[in-house]
Amino acid sequence: MERAEVFVASPGRNFVTLRITTSDGVTGLGDATLNGRELAVASYLRDHLVPLLIGRDPARIEDIWQFLYKGAYWRRGPVTMTAIAAVDVALWDIKGKVAGLPVYQLLGGRSRDGVMVYSHASGTDVPSLLDDVAKFRDQGYQAIRAQTGVPGLGGSYGVRKGEVYEPANGSLPDEQPWSTEAYLDFAPTYLREVREKFGYGFHLLHDVHHRLTPIEAARFGKSVEDLRLFWMEDPTPAENQEAFRLIRRHTTTPIATGEILNSIWDVKDLITEQLIDYVRTTVVHAGGITHLRRIFDLAALYQVRTGSHGATDLSPISLAAAVHVDLTVPNFGIQEYMPHVAETMQVFRTNVTLKNGMLDLSDEPGLGVEYDEKAAERFPYDPKYLPVARRLDGSVHDW
Ligand code: GCO
Ligand code: MG
């Protein structure tokens, strides 16, 4: 590797991008975006990893992964694993370009014709949520996540405010009220309204955003069993993998978790004890294609399927990398998908296409993504933070 550059830009939202150039002039791109903590990863890359890459053979992807992971002494964690992921994905991009093959061919070729996605329907209230669901049904999506603001709580959490869902906002975190009681009474009622209005001919998903205790999550799962959710996502914080055992004992509503987890160790018990149905780790936050495949292979042994995070705080590079992986793994489940805003697409060019709720990509070598450095200069870094939830007594709650 001759050069590795880190770009921080905010075309619609903040993204950190790594570009590696080989001595033959081949370039590879990696996403290094960690929502609300972008500069920490940029510094990890610029100050600590880039100097280690120069002069190293870009073909040795596995060896470089081990070198960066074990060589750091400090293992795991979102900043480290996002930085390693960016290097790993850029090296797969380079390998594909050198071989003249798309990355999915290097991963074993297609296991399926396309990648089923779920979109985000949301609204500040139930009528606007139902309008959003109708819009996505009309657009041909086969799976839809439904979220709406809880009455009396100021419309917070996981809900679109303007045209797009973008919770990171403001140069200081927005502190929003939360009541588990109000949520537990309300959420099942609007999910029921969605089923009553639109029927069972599509997959319905819901994100709990880690806001319940295990027994509350068990109650929620039980109360929506007849609505046949595709999954309830992040029903409880996952630091304690054991917690999911209690939820599992009480409900057949499928469980998904993993978007904030970074390594195979963080999901090991969840997978091997079959405490979840879908693992949501991503290329960008879980160590790149090399490590994600290891997680997905472990999951396949236990009939756990994939359902990678794909909100717009993951850059188009991550989305493309996800589609390459999703096309190949035998235990693919679903891919989260939100279209990036127009400003983002002025900076990133990809060949990812959407048709009938399925993503696909062309046979372009590598990842099939280009980064327009000049266009990115028009969008300087713009600090934005995710909101923080406080219970009605003022104490901090889980996101
Ligand atoms: C998801 C996530 C988003 C988060 C965002 C935080 O399932 O897509 O939970 O809703 O808001 O990705 O960075
Ligand atoms: Mg989520």
User: How far is 140 from 355, CA to CA, in rounded Å?
Assistant: 8
Q: Using CB atoms within 10 A of its CB, is residue 396 exposed (0-12), middle (13-18) or buried (19+)?
A: exposed
Give the integer Cα–Cα distance in Å for 223 and 344: 39
Q: Are 327 and 87 in contact (CB under 8 A)?
A: no
The SS3 call for residue 154 is coil
pLDDT at 162: 65
For the annotated catalytic residues, the residue numbers are 157, 209
Task: For ligand 1, pick from 161, 207, 278, 398 the residue to mutate: most ligand atoms within 8 Å of CB.
Answer: 207
Confidence of residue 332 (pLDDT cuts 50, 70, 90): very high
- For the cut 70, the answer to whether the pLDDT of residue 163 exceeds it is no
Q: pLDDT-derived band of residue 120, with 50, 70 and 90 as boundaries?
A: very high
Residue 134 confidence (pLDDT) above 80: yes
Ligand 1 pocket residue status of 277, Cβ below 6 Å: no
Enumerate residues 6+ apart whose C-beta is below 8 A from 85.
30, 31, 32, 283, 284, 285, 286, 287, 288, 291
> Closest Cα to atom 3, ligand 1: which residue?
311
Identify the CA nearest to 12 among candidates 345, 353, 387, 371.
345
pLDDT tens for 198-214 read 999 999 999 999 999 99
Q: What is the pLDDT of residue 158?
A: 62
- How confident is residue 161, by pLDDT bands cut at 50, 70 and 90? low
User: 153 falls in which pLDDT band (50, 70, 90)?
Assistant: confident
Instruction: Decide whether any atom of ligand 1 lies within 6 Å of the 207 Cβ.
Output: yes
String of DSSP letters for 215-263: HHHHHHHHHTGGG--SEEE--S-SSSTTHHHHHHHH--S-EEE-TT--S
- Distance between Cα 300 and ligand 1 center (Å): 25
